[in-house]
Amino acid sequence: PPAPVATGPTGPAVMPEATDIAAYMKARHDNYKALGANMKVLQDNFKSDTPDMAAVAPAAANVKLFADAIGAWFPAGTGPDSGNETEAKANIWTDRATFDAAAAKLQAEAVKLAAATDAAAFKAQFPATGGSCKNCHDTFRAEKEDK
């Protein structure tokens, strides 16, 4: 199994009020970095022949917490039009229904992932959860060079 981490990744931090747009956007970015740390634990265990379910379970629970919160992280004025650097594409706001559907899909997959209490169930569910992340990234996230 992958080497255990001394302290596992955390769940989402509480987002500040969106009054200081730059600070809000930084908090959102930091939350995504924390989500990525949880996904890395899951990815490493997915690749292992013997996943460490003691590491998988809290990371999967955290992913569910992030999935529950993400839909609210994009209030008006916190996108590219803010003048602040962001990887969030404008279509999050201009095609909100599609974004909300993608967030709901992540939530649904994350619920299933958090419920996967054994290695076989985890390995069966992780690709769908990761796929819902990728789908949203492909549609709504600008890579640094294609902004």
Q: How far apart, in whole angstroms, are the C-alpha atoms of residue 6 and residue 11?
A: 16
Residue 7, pLDDT > 80, answer: no
Give the tens place of pLDDT for each residue, 11-51: 888 889 889 999 999 999 999 999 999 999 999 999 999 99
Q: How far is CA 10 from CA 14, 85, 122, in A?
A: 12, 25, 19
pLDDT of residue 126: 98
Quote the tokens at residue 89: 């594409």
Of the candidates 5, 121, 23, 17, the one whose C-alpha atom is nearest the C-alpha of residue 75 is 17
CATH superfamily membership of 21-73+89-146: Cytochrome c/b562 (1.20.120.10)
Q: How far apart, in whole angstroms, are the C-alpha atoms of residue 13 and residue 69?
A: 10
pLDDT of residue 9: 81
pLDDT of residue 147: 42
Query: Which residue is associated with the tokens 């930084």?
Result: 26
